Structure 1
């Protein structure tokens, strides 16, 4: 009898140990960018379709409240690269996204269940419908899910300097026809005139199926920083035209296509640097999207070996 009890306790201990050992996931993404054309002062520069390869590696824990990010530009993946670290932490009345890496900063998010709003850094406010607010309150505020936070802020990741995390967005809002951001208000100081405050109103328009068809970020003076229009969507594949104007210094027009089930993201971009009179046309195609189970949040030799076995087609 005593041996039987000991065996049961042994099994219970093994079960508890298995539950407490937190699994991790590595995500390996490779993008191939081809510079098609370049013009300087209306004169074409012969670049002969210059090709660049960007390798990205993300690591996250089972809860997805901690993420590390590595980037390798035209180089092989190694474990010696210093990553950026992002952690989502719950405070008394808010949650905080801590960012440690090339740009160390924090993002504070407050949730108001009565007004169905999310306030960021005590100045930017997003108004949501009941379904989307309730989902984000559970997923982001209570469960600290970073990919769902990225999905929510998809069009504004550049504003908060977390653009490098775009590739692990959950894309969850594209799977629900009742998730909507109704409107938003943002503030920002200009990079070359730090005492000038821009105040932005953002409108969101959806079609009858709940798909975002139009987004406009416009200042009180009528300046447009962002315009997004849907071109097509079919069976989980979305295509958008996006215009961005960064303080009339960098103007970009892009066509983004992504598949929410296959996690494929491709993009064509025309970028114009106003001060240099320089226009660049390039195209980025995703060549690899692969996930691996891992024993560590950070990239280790085992993960490097697995990644470097994969060949780019």
Structure 2
């Protein structure tokens, strides 16, 4: 797989000699933690930082390079980028290849025309006719990675994508009010070997997605995503996730223009008796440049 990934990346890298599109975001990150017993600040878990997230891609967006840096320098050289994504299409399926210096992974997308369903690895998503036709074209014909990222941005399965990539998702499913009917997903167990099975339900209104629920075989909700606000510019979601080890509540503010994103998170770790708070705001500072 590593050899295959190198071949694809090398071939796509040649395209950058003709055109280079660059997008950069300035990110302000703040994190601190409290001891739940004393309600006091934990000094060694307090952090503030400012850094840049840079994306380099060709016009088709079928290969994307990602890096993080403290300064904006040498961002036009793909060798400086630590994450790389590229898509390969054959036999009515697409392989999204993800690489960084620590691991390589492949996300396989298969399209089932009769069922109007998309299979992501071993997970199955049932779509409306309109969304299925749109997404199939964008992936199999256009090879557009930003559409795949948009499809997966709820992070319902174990896809192990770099978190930064969601900054440049296409936002098509929000702008066009596309609908996923339901999904069945398997994820790695948190506390033991094996897999957990989940049923995903999606609730919509005339403005688009309203709620997503992720339930186990016992009907217990482990993931609940609710829309709190929407206008022509942005959508605000509240997401609650529960596992045996932690409870996480996230407020996610996404902008349909991809100009910025705001995230606030509260994470209660049961075993450590710690609550961690995170604030993360990213703003686009460079438009596409060549």
Structure 1 length normalisation: TM-score?
A: 0.79
- Give 1:76 deviation, angstroms: 2.8
- Give 1:222 deviation, angstroms: 2.9
- Give 1:94 deviation, angstroms: 1.1
Bigger mean CA offset, 217-226 vs 283-292? 283-292
1:203 aligns with 201
Residues 55, 270 of structure 1: alpha-carbon distance in 2 compared, 3 angstrom cutoff: same
1:230 aligns with 227
1:198-228, CA deviations, whole angstroms, 9 ceiling, x for partnerless residues?
110000000123x101001111123433210
**Match among 65, 70, 74 for residue 68 of structure 1:** 65
1:149-188, CA deviations, whole angstroms, 9 ceiling, x for partnerless residues?
11011102772011331111011111113x1000000012
1:117-144, CA deviations, whole angstroms, 9 ceiling, x for partnerless residues?
00011x2000000111110011112211
Inter-partner Cα distance in structure 2 for 1:90 and 1:99: 15
- Give 1:91 deviation, angstroms: 1.8
Bigger mean CA offset, 50-59 vs 199-208? 50-59
CA RMSD, 1 decimal: 2.4
1:270-289 correspondence to structure 2 within 5 Å: 270-289=266-285
1:60-112, CA deviations, whole angstroms, 9 ceiling, x for partnerless residues?
1111110111123xx33454745111110002231101111133110111001
Residues 34, 20 of structure 1: alpha-carbon distance in 2 compared, 3 angstrom cutoff: closer
Inter-partner Cα distance in structure 2 for 1:189 and 1:50: 30
1:239 aligns with 236
Q: Per the alignment, in what secondary structure is the counterpart of residue 154 of structure 2?
A: helix
Inter-partner Cα distance in structure 2 for 1:54 and 1:190: 33
1:108 lines up with 2:108 in the alignment = yes
Q: Per the alignment, in what secondary structure is the counterpart of residue 174 of structure 1?
A: helix
Question: Hey, which bits of structure 1, 4+ residues long, moved more than 6 A?
Answer: none
2:19 aligns with 23
| 1:150/1:157 contact within 8 Å kept | no
- Give 1:269 deviation, angstroms: 0.9
2:142 aligns with 143
Inter-partner Cα distance in structure 1 for 2:169 and 2:268: 27
1:126 aligns with 125
| 1:119/1:126 contact within 8 Å kept | yes
Inter-partner Cα distance in structure 2 for 1:279 and 1:65: 40
Inter-partner Cα distance in structure 2 for 1:207 and 1:85: 36
| 1:25/1:62 contact within 8 Å kept | yes
Structure with larger RCO (C-alpha < 8 A, sep 6+): 1
Bigger mean CA offset, 197-206 vs 34-43? 34-43
For structure 2, list consecutive stretches of 5 or more residues without a partner in the other structure. Answer: 1-14
For structure 1, list consecutive stretches of 5 or more residues without a partner in the other structure. Answer: 1-18, 295-313
Inter-partner Cα distance in structure 2 for 1:39 and 1:140: 47
1:168 lines up with 2:168 in the alignment = yes
**Match among 48, 51, 76 for residue 54 of structure 1:** 51
Count of residues paired in the alignment: 269
| 1:36/1:283 contact within 8 Å kept | no
- Give 1:272 deviation, angstroms: 1.5
Q: Per the alignment, in what secondary structure is the counterpart of residue 164 of structure 2?
A: helix
Bigger mean CA offset, 152-161 vs 82-91? 152-161
Residues 217, 260 of structure 1: alpha-carbon distance in 2 compared, 3 angstrom cutoff: same
